[in-house]
Amino acid sequence: MSIAFLTAMRSKDPSMQVGACIVNGLNRIIGVGYNGMPSGCPNEELPWAKTSPQGYLETKYPYVVHAEVNAIMNKNAESCIGCRLYCTLFPCNECAKVIIQAGITHVIYTSDKHHERESSKASRRLFELAGVKMTQHVPEQTSLLLPLRYADEDARSHKGAVCEGPCSCSGLHRPAERCRQGGDSLAWSLTAVAAASSLVAASAGATRWKARQGLIQILGHPRFMLAAGNSARYRGTRFWSALLRKR
Q: What is the pLDDT tens value at each position of the chain, 247 positions in all?
A: 999 999 999 999 999 999 999 999 999 999 999 999 999 999 999 999 999 999 999 999 999 999 999 999 999 988 999 999 999 999 999 999 999 999 999 999 999 999 999 999 999 999 999 999 999 999 888 888 877 888 777 555 555 455 555 454 444 444 444 444 444 444 545 555 555 555 555 556 666 666 666 666 655 555 545 544 444 444 455 544 554 454 4
226 dihedral zone (left: phi>0; alpha: psi -120 to 50; beta): alpha
164 in active site = no
pLDDT for position 205: 61
**Distance, CA of 235 to CA of 141 (rounded, Å):** 13
38-76: buried (b, 16+ CB within 10 Å) or exposed (e) per residue? Answer: eeeeeeeeeebeeeeeeeeeebbeeebbbbbbbbbeebe
CB 174 within 8 A of CB 156: no
pLDDT for position 157: 56
Q: Strand, coil or helix: what is 184?
A: coil
Catalytic residue among 58, 68, 78, 128: 68
The alpha helices in 28-92, defined as continuous H runs, are 67-73
Instruction: Give the Å distances, CA to CA, from 220 to 63, 223, 228.
Output: 32, 9, 12
The model's pTM: 0.63
Cα 46 versus chain centre, distance:
21
